[in-house]
């Protein structure tokens, strides 16, 4: 999502409540991306560990 253009759109219309929603959504997306990356890293580590044990 293009957060910058969304913020500009809401700022131009003085939609403060929307800006707050955008900030919250961006924060949640970043947290989910970090969790996803950790899960992907763990899966890679598990696969490597399991391949070494055979």
pLDDT along the chain (54 residues), means of 10: 84 88 93 98 91 76
**pTM for the whole structure:** 0.71
The tokens 């924060």 sit on which residue?
A: 27
Cβ proximity of 10 and 18 under 8 Å:
yes
Return the pLDDT at 39: 97
Please state, in angstroms and as integers, the Cα–Cα distance from residue 12 to each residue in 6, 19, 35, 43, following that order.
10, 11, 33, 44
């Amino acid at each position: 999502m293009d957060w910058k253009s969304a913020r500009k759109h809401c700022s131009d219309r003085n939609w403060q409540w929307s800006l707050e929603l955008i900030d919250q959504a961006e924060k949640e997306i970043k947290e989910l991306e970090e969790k996803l990356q950790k899960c992907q890293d763990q899966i890679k580590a598990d696969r490597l560990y399991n391949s070494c044990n055979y």
